[in-house]
């Protein structure tokens, strides 16, 4: 076991610094390493009034990228060279966020650098491979810690196949933080984009309605995503998994056909049913009835509004089957629908009734953004307030018939999945984990629990954020930012990388401790 851990730590260290780099030959770079830091039109313009000063000296220059580049949260990936038709050449790709703001983290684009695997001096700037415009806030979305995976499919008859017979596709998980305050209306963390090349262009594949991006994207993937594609012995995709979370650690088995939505609980070993079946069936029936009315050219406004309210009532009626963590999805769905009511048809309703709706939405938003401390009853109460406010909307006289809100309600309700992700994958010391007992950590190996108290298990793993997983031999290794400090004689901080390992991509996990300390 000690030998395995020594080998594992060596591999992890090499992976984290992207291999044993030879001495850098700056003249061999394809860019000027001393190019001054510049900004672009995509840069956040809120800092225009900040006094312009020379940047401070660089205290820790990058060992392999030019000194003007600022790419935190980088994840190294080994992909096929997209310009090699034979399918035999590979490049190392660094997928990273992009620090361009004078104050605050990251920026409005995902930055990618790459180098041939046999010459890690020759780094190439692939440029900003992805940006996203937020129609609600009339601004560019912010992109935090991203990930990207390569999915290969053997299909030698495809015109896209390389010489090895494989078709290669790339899925980008940009960690779209949207409005920078985790607002429910800017919440596009689950965004997934696809391309034929790792350097793009990428197209978002999980819009709820591609023609109305105000409804956002569907799926569960959240903060600091890490994605893993598992292949069988014949080189075919066996399964795909996503991991995410700040403090609380989540994971889900993905539908390999979408790479964005969960594999249905009836077909997955890990994903479970999210709602009491009768309550989800009632919502499904309400959606079907609403579609019938929506498609009826003779439907009256009263009939249209009644079906929309029925959808709201059945969203409220969903009963969470998982009691260890409150479910925010119904509340989020209701908020997005109501935002369309306020945004698109504020003149359709009386000012007094709209004021009541906005107040209910404010309460609902505060519950969603404090989900770690809120409980299910508080979520349900906030949702009830929204449903009552929708019922209380009073239309102005002589308004024309309109089906738009019913269409929005149908599409947003359909995006509520009855399959839930796996919560508390890697233990943490966060307040959300206070709900758990030692037995509730079902993804922790019994060996990691043996002889330890609940507090000791939570501290030993100490998950904070930024999970990423790789296969090392016959083991799966999860590396993540870890809360630690006291064991080093320091205060609590998250400047340490920790790791856990298991026999499958979903554990059960054994803590490996810290593998590097950046403080």
Q: What angle do CA 237, 120, 240 make, to 5 degrees?
A: 15
- Mean pLDDT for the stretch of residues 490-503: 85
Which is more confident, 324 or 459? 459
Give the pLDDT mean for 234-261.
94
Q: Reduced to 3 states, what is the DSSP secondary structure of residue 515?
A: strand
Question: What is the percent of the chain where pLDDT is above 70?
Answer: 84
- Let me know: does 423 contact 435? Beta carbons within 8 Å: no
Mean pLDDT of 16-43: 34
Residue 485 has pLDDT above 80, yes or no: no
What average pLDDT score do residues 200-212 get? 95
pTM metric for this prediction: 0.85
pLDDT for 274 equals: 96
Q: What is the mean pLDDT of residues 44-63?
A: 47
Instruction: Give residue 517's pLDDT.
Output: 59
pLDDT value, residue 58: 46
pLDDT: which is higher, 98 or 484: 98
96 Cβ contact list (under 8 Å, min separation 6) = 71, 72, 73, 74, 75, 110, 111, 112, 113, 146
For the chain, give the percent of residues with pLDDT over 90.
59
Tell me the domain boundaries of the chain: 2-218, 277-416, 423-517
- In this prediction, residue 138 carries a pLDDT of 81
Q: Is the pLDDT of residue 140 over 90?
A: no
What value does the mean pLDDT take over residues 372-389?
90
pLDDT at 362: 93
pLDDT bin (cut points 50, 70, 90) of residue 514 is: confident
State the chain's mean pLDDT as an integer. Answer: 84
Stated length of the chain: 519
The Cα-based distances of 25 to 14, 66, 68, 122, 233 in angstroms read 20, 11, 16, 9, 40
For tokens 């000690």, the residue is 2
Average of per-residue pLDDT across 34-62: 42
What confidence tens digit (pLDDT) does each residue in 334-343 have?
Answer: 999 999 998 8
CA–CA separation, 396 and 402 (whole Å): 13
pLDDT at 57: 45
d(CA 59, CA 48): 26
Q: Which two tokens stand for residue 472?
A: 């090392």
Residue 252 is encoded by which pair of tokens? 């889900």
pLDDT reading at 11 higher than 70 = no
Backbone angles phi, psi at 188, to 5 degrees: -125, 30
Question: 460 versus 58: which is more confidently predicted?
Answer: 460
């Amino acid at each position: 076991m000690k030998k395995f851990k020594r080998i594992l730590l060596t591999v992890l260290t090499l992976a984290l610094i992207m291999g044993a780099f030879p001495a850098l030959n700056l003249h061999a770079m394809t860019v000027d390493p001393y190019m001054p830091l510049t900004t672009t039109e995509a840069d956040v313009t809120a800092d225009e009034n900040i006094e312009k000063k020379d940047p401070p000296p660089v205290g820790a220059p990058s060992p392999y990228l030019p000194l003007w580049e600022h790419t935190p949260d980088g994840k190294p990936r080994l992909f096929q060279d997209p310009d090699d038709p034979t399918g035999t050449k590979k490049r190392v790709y660094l997928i990273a966020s992009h620090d361009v703001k004078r104050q605050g983290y990251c920026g409005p684009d995902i930055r990618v650098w790459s180098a041939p695997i046999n010459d890690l001096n020759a780094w190439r700037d692939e440029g900003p491979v992805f940006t996203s415009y937020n129609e609600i806030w009339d601004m560019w979305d912010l992109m935090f810690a991203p990930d990207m995976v390569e999915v290969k499919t053997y299909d030698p008859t495809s015109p896209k196949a390389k010489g090895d017979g494989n078709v290669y596709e790339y899925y980008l998980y940009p960690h779209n933080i949207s409005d920078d305050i985790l607002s429910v209306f800017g919440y596009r963390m689950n965004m997934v984009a696809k391309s034929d090349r790792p350097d793009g262009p990428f197209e978002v594949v999980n819009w709820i309605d591609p023609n109305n991006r105000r409804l956002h994207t569907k799926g569960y993937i959240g903060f600091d995503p890490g994605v893993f594609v598992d292949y069988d012995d014949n080189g075919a995709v066996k399964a795909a998994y996503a991991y995410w979370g700040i403090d609380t650690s989540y994971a889900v088995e993905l539908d390999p056909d979408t790479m964005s939505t969960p594999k249905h609980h009836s077909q997955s070993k890990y994903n479970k049913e999210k709602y009491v079946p009768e309550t989800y069936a009632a919502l499904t029936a309400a959606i079907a009835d609403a579609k019938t009315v929506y498609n009826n050219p003779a439907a009256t406004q009263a009939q249209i509004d009644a079906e929309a309210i029925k959808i709201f009532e059945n969203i409220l009626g969903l009963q969470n089957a998982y009691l260890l963590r409150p479910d925010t999805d119904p509340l989020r769905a209701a908020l997005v629908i109501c935002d369309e009511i306020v945004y698109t048809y504020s003149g359709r309703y009386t000012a007094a009734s709209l004021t009541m709706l906005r107040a209910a939405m404010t309460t609902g938003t505060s519950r969603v953004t404090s989900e770690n401390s809120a409980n299910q009853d508080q979520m349900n109460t906030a949702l009830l307030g929204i449903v009552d406010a929708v019922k209380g909307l009073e239309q102005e006289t002589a308004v024309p018939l309109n089906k738009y809100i019913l269409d929005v309600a149908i599409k947003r309700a359909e995006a509520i999945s009855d399959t839930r992700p796996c919560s508390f994958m890697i233990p943490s010391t966060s307040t959300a984990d206070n709900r758990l007992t030692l037995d509730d950590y079902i993804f922790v190996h019994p060996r990691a629990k043996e002889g330890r108290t609940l507090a000791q298990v939570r501290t030993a793993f100490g998950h904070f954020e930024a999970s990423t997983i790789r296969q090392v031999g016959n083991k799966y290794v999860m590396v993540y930012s870890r809360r630690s400090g006291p064991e080093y004689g320091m205060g609590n901080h998250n400047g340490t990388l920790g790791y856990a390992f298991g026999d499958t991509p979903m554990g059960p996990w054994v803590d490996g401790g810290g593998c590097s300390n950046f403080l």
